[in-house]
Amino acid sequence: KFSQEEARELSGIANVQWTSAYEATLKRLVPQAAMLYLNSNEHLRQSNEVETRTDRMNAAVRRQFP
């Protein structure tokens, strides 16, 4: 695990956040957004009986920000 400073230096990304700050950051930024895009697999033959982590996250975002 890298420190935030090490991550900045290695990646070149100026604003590095911990994953523990994800929920608070999302709550702060979504109201400022005009559009929110969620990742999904829309392939016609894609069949998944088990809900993926992405599906669960998308559902949570849709519930929290209708």
pTM: 0.68
Average pLDDT of the residues of the chain: 91
Whose CA is closest to 25, among 12, 39, 15?
Answer: 15
Q: How far apart are CA 4 and CA 14, in angstroms?
A: 10
pLDDT digits 0-9 by tens, 3-33:
999 999 999 999 999 999 999 999 999 999 9
What does the block give as tokens for 66? 């209708």
Q: What is the pLDDT of residue 25?
A: 95
